[in-house]
Amino acid sequence: MTPFWKLSAAGFAATAIAYGPARMGFGLFLPEFRSAFGISTQTAGLISSLGFFGFFAGLLISQAMTTRKGPRLPVISGLLAATIGTGIVAAASNFTVLSFGVLLAMSSAGFAWTPFNNAVHRTVDDWSRPTALSSVSTGTSLGVAAAGTAALIISTSGISWRLCWAMFAIASALALAGNWAALREVAGTPGPGVAERWRVLFRRSAMPLFGIGLCYGITSAIYISFAADRIAQAGGVAGLPRNASGGLVFVCYGIAGLLGLCTANVKAMMGLAWLLRLLMLACALSFALIALWPTTFAGIILSAALQGLYVMMMSAALSFWSDRLFPSLPSQSFTAVLLAVATGSIVGPAIAGIASDAYGPMSMFLGSAALAAATAASFRSKHIWERPPVHSPENP
């Protein structure tokens, strides 16, 4: 198997687990967790923010591992965290154990994606690199769709949510075994060159990239944390059990997100600046739909599809942008972007939970829509560099 196919498949599997059930599972099953553990909306926001703090910490640890040992160790560590974390949630007997399992599972997302930028940049040719990176980032779609399908089946059949989380743990273990084999050739090889310096990344030209990443983190984390609960609290969709609505949301979210595989082609047709604007507007419309029509099939399906498209295409677009600005620092530059995303993900759910309790979920979702729309309106094409200078540790 060629490096392109091997890394694309391994990365797809890793992100399918880490950014699928491990990262989305708490929001997907929040209605069930409310019933089992007596969780309020504000508390749910704090637990979600705690999980995203694990994501933030995982990014930093992953970067250190990649620099010293190459991309294999952080990916394997992340999938191990996902396996153990989802297993803990499946067996959780109280609120404290649940929170620890969520923290560990969600931290896997920080470990298991950025190392692939390093591996792909080193082993895949320039022409195929955007397609490989799109494949890695879009693994999330399959993971989210599969998790949503499992949740939908279990909620309509009356089987315990614990079985679903046990299945997530088994899937994580299988992905771990596959990546252990696929990344053997890049194990223990951090790559040539002197130590990378973070200060190289904090240039004026990169601030719009980090700003978009921050907004992306805030909005995407709020949606995955509270969309399913918004529908359940509004009464659910006619014809489905109340707690099955979350499964419907994430199935549509994941399926639509598969269009993220086309991100490289869409970017080539319209340019990165317009792609970013349209994705932020899609996010705004997604929030507005779930705020205003949370119990209609049309509103839920369209909202989830737009959000899935936004999340998957935006993640790939940020990867392209960081690789273009910092071609000699592929892993570290994308880690910096994801740290901005993680910062937004920590802040977003905590504030959203407080706002929802104070002003109601509709106002909270409409406020999130306004944030996305304002970001789209403020973005300028000049923020995208057509031919950026080459930045390297030797020549910052």
Q: What are phi and psi of 334, to 5 degrees?
A: -70, -35
First to last CA, the chain: 37
Confidence label for 195 from pLDDT (cuts 50, 70 and 90): very low
Confidence label for 394 from pLDDT (cuts 50, 70 and 90): very low
Question: What is the tens place of the pLDDT at every residue in 131-150?
Answer: 776 677 677 788 888 888 88
Q: What is the pTM of this model?
A: 0.82
CB atoms within 10 A of CB 193: 11
Q: What is the pLDDT of residue 100?
A: 96
Confidence label for 207 from pLDDT (cuts 50, 70 and 90): confident
Q: Which two tokens stand for residue 134?
A: 């799109």
Q: What is the pLDDT of residue 390?
A: 43
Mean pLDDT, rounded, of the chain: 85
Has residue 23 got a pLDDT over 70? yes
Q: What CA–CA distance (Å, rounded) separates 36 from 391?
A: 52
Confidence label for 260 from pLDDT (cuts 50, 70 and 90): confident
Contacts of 201 (CB under 8 A, 6+ apart): 326, 329, 332, 333, 336
Confidence label for 14 from pLDDT (cuts 50, 70 and 90): very high
Of the options 3.30.565.10, 3.40.50.300, 1.20.1250.20, 2.60.40.1930, the CATH number for the domain spanning 3-190+201-383: 1.20.1250.20
Q: What is the pLDDT of residue 364?
A: 97
Q: What CA–CA distance (Å, rounded) separates 56 from 265?
A: 30
Q: Which two tokens stand for residue 192?
A: 């040539």
Q: What is the pLDDT of residue 91?
A: 95
Sign of CA dihedral 359, 43, 219, 33: negative
Has residue 314 got a pLDDT over 70? yes
Q: What CA–CA distance (Å, rounded) separates 276 from 195?
A: 32
Find tokens 């929030």 and name the residue: 287
Asked if 257 contacts 77 with a C-beta cutoff of 8 angstroms, the reply is no
131-145, 158-172, 258-272 — which is least confidently predicted?
A: 131-145
Question: What is the tens place of the pLDDT at every residue in 117-135?
Answer: 777 766 666 667 667 766 7
Q: Which two tokens stand for residue 12?
A: 């797809």
Asked if 383 contacts 208 with a C-beta cutoff of 8 angstroms, the reply is yes
User: For the chain, which residues make up each domain, given as ranges?
Assistant: 3-190+201-383
Q: Which two tokens stand for residue 175?
A: 């992905």
Exposure letters 18-57 (e unless 16+ CB within 10 A, then b): bbbbbbbbbbbbbbbbbebbebebebbbbbbbbbbbbbbe
Measuring CA to CA, which residue among 262, 201, 208, 217 is closest to residue 381? 208
